[in-house]
Each structure stands twice: as structure tokens, then as C-alpha cells.
Amino acid sequence: MRQTKGAKLLVHWIVGVVLLFVFAGSAGAQQRAVQVAAVADDPFGEKQSYLQQIHVNEAWDVAKGNTNIIIAVVDTGVDLSHPDLQPNLINGINLISPKLLPRDDNGHGTNVAGVLAAATNNDKGVSGILWNAKIMPIKALESDGSGGEAKLGEGIRYAVDHGAKIVVLSLGLNKYSTYMSDIVKYAEDHDVLLVAATGNEGNRVKYPAAYPTVLAVGGMTAERTADNRSNTGPEVDLVAPWDVFTTALGGSYEYKDGTSMAAPQVAAVAALAWSKYPDFKAYQIRQLLRQTADDLGSPGWDASTGYGLLRADRALSEMPLLDMYEPNNRKDQAKPVSISKTISASFSGGSDQDWFAFDASYNGTVRITFQQESGQSITVQHTDASGAFTSQTVGPGEAAVLPVTKGRSYLQLQLGNRNFKGEAAYQMTTSFDIYRDPFEDNDKQYKASVLPSRSQTIKGTFHQQNDQDWFEFRVMQSGTLNIRLSTDTARIDPVLFVQKQGEKSVTIDDGEDGASENLQLSEVFPGSYYIKVSNVKEYPYPVTGEYYLTIEYDAKQIDPNEPNNRSYQATTVSLNTEYDGLMDKADDVDWFQFPLSGDSLVQVDVSDIPSGIEMGATLYDGSMRPITNSSSGYALQLRQRLGTGNYYLKLGASGAFDHHMYRLIVGVKPLVGGYADINGHWAMDNILAMSDKQVINGYDDYTFRPNHAITRAEATTLLSRALNLSKQKGIYYTDLAPDHWAYPYIARAAQSGIVDGYPDGSFAPDQPVSRMEMISMIAKGLNKTGKRRGANPFTDVDDNYWGTPILKQMKAEGWIDGYADGSFRPDQQASRAEFVSMLAKMLP
């Protein structure tokens, strides 16, 4: 039997009285005030399990509503006569039919409003997260739930101009636009918090959620994982429960799901937090919700769940932090952040370093801008997934533009003024631009990139405004041609255009956003076929994503290398050049030859092997003695270090094929001292000298990677070898096991007092070594203790800097030099080349 509201309140009152008597008796003369936890008693409350998932009951002990701010719902309108919503509604607007009230003719906006602020403890229906609120309904979508960005932008601007502090956007578009970006900036400039759903297609985050300052909300399952339909990507901030029970049209109630129902949960908790911190700016509320989220999955931010599950209780009970990412003073403490978002952090003085990590899904560039009140410049040091290092110092209003390769990159940030005292809070905005594909510049038909006359799949991007890519495919023999255009993101609506030279064109645009387009030509004749790939013309903006153009050309091919069935008929190949071939008979073999004029690293790649075929390759020296061999389907590779001479390559196959060309490339890199990447490098002589002394060695791929940052483990190992350290003491560091490859070298260096760990008991073996740390290690190896007298040798250090005495001595004795501008850049990461060059100076 369902209890009435009056009965429940009576029970709560009796419990409260009993508790008061119990506490009074146990405390003697002391009296203690007891507060009974806030409880919602609406009839359908048991169906609102999502409220327990975000711990809203505990939050209600602090705040139950917020009538000091306006929350706008830009949607399909709201059921204005719903008894559970009426008490919390204020006047809004109907942008679809301006003469009418913003009544909901779809139901979606009513669902959203109920999650936000269904009246609570009114003996009706469900409980809103906000018991009391001011909800402004703005109808910007049609009755079928569709709408364009013009009305969406108009709705956001109306909300901002009419006093809204929070705007809920449980809707989305796949495409970026300057117009919507300007609207979002307008809201941010007016300190209005935009909260948007990421979308429910299992694809990329939709706009406006994808803009950097919009709080993007995904959906979470009851198992505390991101729902597989919830859109993911670098723009995700938080997740909230996917399933809700909420208000519906006609004064009714229903179950609903999706990120549309998750977003209002976040907006409501933001309003509760704003009631406790009324002076907070929108960015501070954003950061507080991120800080107090319940981390899900891998530690820190991730592209599926963002910073984690919304926690209403923590948002109202935990102390807001000026920098939620601390401690992050070292690379091994780097905190993951998005590659496309605005976050807030702080420097605790000029010596504080902030380390962050971000993941790039593609090659490209990252643009980083800062906002801060201190007006200080910020030094940005960046190491991308390939190990490439860059360093830039940017002032207020300037941007650091960093090239990145696919994978994880690391950022080290520090104030340019190392002597700055106090806190320097900042906002950091990251944005990503995808790489320019290798077929550019091909935006016009006369610039069409010529493709090989064979079946293939190529990958391209729309990296700039109004980008379109033209290709020329030359049909050499009659056959069939199938063309398929696909993409990895719904942000691209691909359009396929095909025209045989001199004939009519065909345009294929049958699918929706992200859907593939296909064209089958049952008979093609010799001539040039022009293919244009573009995004739908209404959306000319750059896109973070790739398209795939697959061409299946079925025609009998002719091997251009024949006859080469015998070693004495071997085709001489140009190194690092592509060759095509085929096996038109079951016993066919193809011979190739190439000369080498010096010690080299040779890599033979055979790719585009037809399905169901296995190819084999054998490499021979000039005396026809086999050196190495390999076999594989689809692609195979031989990698070998070879000296001066003439070499032969024999290719064979498990079966004949004459409708598909394989591709052969013999790649060669000259080796200097056994390394493929130091020829012409400024430190080449020092690298060779240290290699001869067996102080250093390279990697298994015959590289030395001179420009990569050197780690503490690597630097310590090189120094131990250079100094022939042999005495070893027992050491213990929390992050260095005895079986670590550098353990004995670190133990010897520790015995000699050259290195030590950190106060937290760690050694951080993979932490990059700064230039100052490098000089300090070298100085200890030379028994240099530093000197305090004399002029400061560099413009960017002063007498209070810990390394100044060492720098003075090492500079005075000719061990080190600075840069042309008089600086030393002590906190910049040292490269492997720099460290080896210092070792070369040490050793006779």
C-alpha cells in the first residue's frame, strides 16, 4: 500500500524526536542539533534509480533548488500545463511559431524539464533534481524533433539575453559552423554555462557539445560504463545515467533514455552548486563538476566517460580546488586531458611545472591558448608520440602551435618568469587540426592527383575550408570499376562525383551523415576517369576525421617488369621507388636487383598481395647466396643490414593472379656508425666517438634518435658507463624493480652520489632529464661542486636558482655554452644528442 504524504511526514517527525531524545540523554547537559536527511516522497520515486546513482539525496542535505538563476531549456518546448512542472516554469518563447506559447508538441522538452525540476514533495509523479527552480522553455525544434542551427543559435542567444545562467541543449548537429561557434562564444563571454548532450549514435560527439567551452555530457549504464550508443571523443566532459523516468506530455510520465536525459542531470547539479557558490564563474562550475566526478575506467580523463560520473553530493561537499590536476610536476605524474577542450589549472609560483598528456587519434597540429590574469608568458614543451620535441614560449593572447603524431603526447608547462611568486591561475584551451593528406594540392580538376591503375584504398582528409579532393584514375584496359567512399565519422557526409573525360558526370549522395556512397560501373573503357571526393556542400568546414576511397578495378593486367623470370633477367630497381608486378602463371617468379654503395639498412616491402595468395621473398648477395627470406599474405617485409655490393631479390607466389598488381619498394637508408638517423646531424661526431667507446648504443631498428628527450634511466646508464662505475649499493625506489634494465647502472651512480630519487621514494626512470639536471649530473661526475662568486652567466637564471653555482663553474671552465640570446633554458628537456656531446667533452 502506498503511504500518503502526510503519513510519511509524520513518520519522519517521530524519528526526529526520538533521535533528539537519544542524543540528549547520552550527552548529559550538552545539547546537540540533529538534522534529518532530505528525502523526496513523490509517488514514482522508486522508478528514479538514476537519482541514487548520482547521489542526489546527499546533495539535498546542502541545497534543494536554486531560484536565483534561470535555466533555459532549448528544445521542443515544455508541457506548460503539466502539474509537476508548472510551479517551476517561467515565461519563455516559441521560435517556431512566435505568436504561440512554447508548448511541447513532441514530448522531448517535457522529458528534459522533468529531470531538471519536476516539483518535489507535492504528492505528484516524480522528483526533479531541483525542487525549486526557474525553468525557461524555449521552443526551437519542430514537432518531429528536428531543427536547424539557425533556430538553435537564436534560442541560445535569446536565453542569454533574457537572463539565463544555464542553457540545457539536449540536441545536436554533426557539423561545425562559424555561426554556432560565435553563439557559443557569446554565451561564454556573458558567463553563461552551456550544457549539451553528446548524442546517441555511437559515433563522434555532436555540436554544440563539441565546442571547447560547452559541458559535454555522455550516457552511463547501470553497470557504470559508457553506453555503447553514447557518442565519444575528445570533447566528452562527464557522463550521467542513460535511463530515467520523467514527465511526459499530457500530465503523464514515462521511461526515457539517451544523452538527452543525461545532460539535464548535469545542468541541475550545476544549479545546485551555483546556489552554494553564487560568485563562481561558469568555467569554475565546469571545473568543479569535473573535479568531483566519480572517475570511471582508466585513471583520469578519457574519451568515453570524460572525467567520470556526475556526483551531486561531492559537487556540494568537496572543497573546490584551484588546480585539480596536482600533483603533476613530473612526466610520470602527467594528467590526461582532452585534445579539444578548455580546462582550468594554476601555477604555484615560477618554479611549478604542470605536466599533461593528451591522445591524438590522427596526425595533425594542436593549438594551445591560455587565459590568465597574471599576464605572464608560459613556456610550452611538447613531446609527441614519435618522440619529437618542441619548445615555445607564448605570451598573453598568443598561441602555441604544436605538430603531433597519432598517439600520446606530453606537455610540460611553466611560467616564463621563474621568479614569479604566488598563484597564477590559468585556463588552457586545446584545439586540434587534422593533417593535410599527401594528395594535396588537388582541389581543382586540373590538379587531380593521378592514382595507380589498379585496385586500391586511399585515405584522405578535409583539412581546410571548402576542401575537396580530385583524383584521376586511368583505365588502361577494359574491365569493371567499383568505387566506394566511406568515412570514420558522422561529421562527414561524403559526396562522390565521377566523370569519364569528355562524358557526362555522375554524383552520388544517397546516404546520411557518415554513410558510405557507392558507384558500380559494369563496363569501363580505356581513358581517364575523374573522381571528386567532398563533404556535403552545406558544410564546407575542416573536419577531424578521415575518408576512404576504395577503387576495385578488375581488368587483366600486364606485368611491366617482364621478362624477369631468371636471375640474369633481373629488373634493376631504383631505391625507395614503387614497382608493380603480378604472377600470371602458377610457376611465375620475379627477379629484381639493386646495388649498394655503402653500409645501409635495407627494407623490402611487398604489399597489396591479392586475397588468398601468399607471396615469398628471398634476398641474395652478389654470389647468389641466400641472406634472408620471408613469406606472408597481404603484405610481407624483409629488413637487413647490408654492405657495399650488388643484391638480388626473388619473389614467388602460392598461385597465379593477373587482375591485381602487387607493390614492391626497396627502401634504403645509409648507415653511419651503424645508425640510420645521424648522417649530417650536428652531434654526429660525438655520437660516433661515444659509440666507438661502447658508452652508447642505439635501438634495434638501427636508429639513435638524437633529438629525442633523454630519460633519467638512459642518462644515468650512459654516465655510469662513461665513468666506468663498478661499485654498487642496494637501492630501493617505488618505481624501479631490480629487474629493470637500468637498475645496476642506477645503483652504481647512486653509490657515487651522482643521482638520487625523489622525496616520495620514486626514481622516475622514464622522466625526461632537463638541461639543468644534465649539467648537474655531469658536474657530479667531474667532482664539480659549483661556485657562488662571479657574474651570472645566463639571462634566464638568477642567483636564487638552485643550479646557478654549477652553471657558473661549468661556464667558466668552458664545459657549457648557452643560446644565442644569452639564455640557458635550464628547464628545457635535454636531448640524447646533447647528453652524448657532454659525455664526449668529459672523456679524453
pLDDT at 666 over 80: yes
Do residues 763 and 788 lie in contact, with contact meaning Cβ atoms separated by under 8 Å? no
Q: What is the mean pLDDT of residues 253-281?
A: 97
Q: Would you place residue 772 in the very low, low, confident or very high pLDDT band (cuts 50, 70, 90)?
A: very high
Q: What is the mean pLDDT of residues 468-479?
A: 93
- Rounded to an integer, what distance in angstroms lies between the CA atom of residue 813 and that of residue 597? 44
Q: What is the mean pLDDT of residues 691-720?
A: 92
Which CA distances in Å does 67 have to 63, 288, 817?
11, 20, 64
**Pick the catalytic residue: 42, 55, 75, 275?**
75
Residues with Cβ within 8 Å of residue 759, at least 6 apart in sequence: none
**Pick the catalytic residue: 55, 108, 660, 708?**
108
Q: What is the mean pLDDT of residues 642-671?
A: 93
Burial of 480 (0-12, 13-18, 19+ CB in 10 A): middle
Active site residue 659: no
CATH-assigned architecture of domain 331-434? Sandwich (2.60)
Active site residue 75: yes
Residues with Cβ within 8 Å of residue 558, at least 6 apart in sequence: none
Q: Would you place residue 311 in the very low, low, confident or very high pLDDT band (cuts 50, 70, 90)?
A: very high
Closest CA to 400 of 387, 413, 385: 413
Q: Would you place residue 23 in the very low, low, confident or very high pLDDT band (cuts 50, 70, 90)?
A: very low
| pLDDT tens-digit map of 580-625 | 999 988 899 999 999 999 999 999 999 999 989 999 999 999 999 9
At the top level of CATH, which class does the domain 45-317 belong to? alpha beta
Q: What is the mean pLDDT of residues 662-666?
A: 96
pLDDT at residue 798 in the model: 87
| pLDDT tens-digit map of 202-245 | 999 999 999 999 999 999 999 999 999 999 999 999 999 999 99
| Mean pLDDT of the residues in the chain | 91
Do residues 490 and 514 lie in contact, with contact meaning Cβ atoms separated by under 8 Å? yes
Q: Would you place residue 42 in the very low, low, confident or very high pLDDT band (cuts 50, 70, 90)?
A: confident
Q: Phi and psi at residue 155, in whole multiples of 5°?
A: -65, -40
Q: Which of 413-422, 646-655, 794-803 has the highest mean pLDDT?
A: 646-655
Least confident window among 4-8, 55-59, 197-201, 429-433 = 4-8
pLDDT at 9 over 70: no
Q: What is the mean pLDDT of residues 164-171?
A: 95
pLDDT at residue 32 in the model: 37
Give CATH for domain 445-552: 2.60.120.380
208: alpha, beta or left? (left if phi > 0; alpha if psi -120 to 50): alpha
pLDDT at 12 over 70: no
pLDDT at 134 over 90: yes
88: alpha, beta or left? (left if phi > 0; alpha if psi -120 to 50): alpha
Q: Would you place residue 778 in the very low, low, confident or very high pLDDT band (cuts 50, 70, 90)?
A: very high
pLDDT at 546 over 60: yes
pLDDT at 7 over 80: no
Q: What is the mean pLDDT of residues 284-311?
A: 95
Residues with Cβ within 8 Å of residue 605, at least 6 apart in sequence: 635, 636, 637, 663, 664, 665, 667
**Pick the catalytic residue: 260, 340, 361, 431?**
260
Report how many helices (DSSP H) and strands (DSSP E) the chain contains, helices first: 15, 36
pLDDT at 563 over 60: yes
Q: Phi and psi at residue 607, in whole multiples of 5°?
A: -130, 180
Residues spanned by CATH 2.60.120.380 within the chain? 331-434, 445-552, 567-670
The residue with greater pLDDT, 83 or 20, is: 83
CATH topology of domain 567-670: Jelly Rolls (2.60.120)
Residues spanned by CATH 3.40.50.200 within the chain? 45-317
- Rounded to an integer, what distance in angstroms lies between the CA atom of residue 667 and that of residue 678? 17
pLDDT at residue 18 in the model: 31
Q: Would you place residue 30 in the very low, low, confident or very high pLDDT band (cuts 50, 70, 90)?
A: very low
CA atoms within 13 A on the CB side of 274: 26
pLDDT at residue 470 in the model: 97
State the chain's maximal CA–CA distance in angstroms: 110
pLDDT at residue 25 in the model: 38
The residue with greater pLDDT, 30 or 781, is: 781
Q: What is the mean pLDDT of residues 192-199?
A: 97
Q: What share of the chain has pLDDT > 90, as a percent?
A: 79
Active site residue 260: yes
Q: Would you place residue 37 in the very low, low, confident or very high pLDDT band (cuts 50, 70, 90)?
A: low
pLDDT at 478 over 90: no
pLDDT at residue 374 in the model: 82
Can you list the alpha helix ranges (DSSP code H) found in 608-683?
none
